[in-house]
Chains A and B, each alone.
Chain A
Amino acid sequence: DAGVIQSPRHEVTEMGQEVTLRCKPISGHNSLFWYRQTMMRGLELLIYFNNNVPIDDSGMPEDRFSAKMPNASFSTLKIQPSEPRDSAVYFCASSFSNTNYGYTFGSGTRLTVV
């Protein structure tokens, strides 16, 4: 079991550019979560999916952010256009929704927007 796989591990981009973060959940997990972590705001839940359907996107900061889950094994978080205040570590996590066990987190993508 390779765990939750995120790519890239690090991303440096210029303000105004489009950024796409990728996540492969654990095989068989049917819930997927995107979090953002900054020193100021801590860990924030951006959006989560159940069975590939977005359930709650109330944490998405603004329209520049979008997330998709085209199938059970892949999800993307896109920022367009990116801004320096988007700099953060973005984590993806997955779980079985029908159990009370915990989430498994990926190693994160460290995004720097200059």
Chain B
Amino acid sequence: DAKTTQPPSMDCAEGRAANLPCNHSTISGNEYVYWYRQIHSQGPQYIIHGLKNNETNEMASLIITEDRKSSTLILPHATLRDTAVYYCIVRVPGANSKLTFGKGITLSVRP
């Protein structure tokens, strides 16, 4: 029972913003939205997380809708090295909480 839905793939041009959507219509009040990515042959890498406010760090921005039923991960200036599978996950943080990965969205950045 997937808690999030993501399109299977998308592409964008190098240097342009990549906007990766995620639907989580059944999110509960204490669940955070997490984004990870996995570059080919590497372990997943944490990108960003948020509860209800928009968040930004050195890697990306996370925009969460007011009703929290969807979010968008924004890579402001995509590079070829951003080509990866991006996973959107909802989770209650804490010792007894699991991080469960779905299929993610494959982002291809083209030159």
Contacts and interface: CB of A to CB of B under 8 A. Distances in A.
B1 to A, nearest CB: 15
Interface of B: 32, 34, 36, 38, 42-47, 49, 93-96, 98-103
A31 B95 contact: yes
- The size class of the interface chain A forms with chain B is 20 to 34
B101 A42 contact: yes
B46 A45 contact: no
Contacts of A97: 94-95
- Chain B interface mostly helix, strand, loop or mixed? loop
Contacts of A43: 38, 44, 101
B101 A91 contact: no
Interface string A43-81: 101001010000110000000000000000000000000
Contacts of A108: 42-43
Nearest to A58: B98
Interface in A73-112: 91, 93, 97-108
B43 A102 contact: no
Contacts of A104: 46
Given A43-B101, A107-B42, A108-B43, A55 B95 contact: yes
Contacts of A33: 99
Given A42-B102, A43-B101, A102-B34, A93 B43 contact: yes
Contacts of B42: 107-108
Contacts of A56: 96, 98
8 contacts: A31-B95, A42-B101, A42-B103, A43-B44, A45-B98, A56-B98, A91-B44, A102-B47
A106 B34 CA distance: 18
Contacts of B99: 33, 45, 93, 103
Contact of A106 (B43, B93, B96, B101): B43
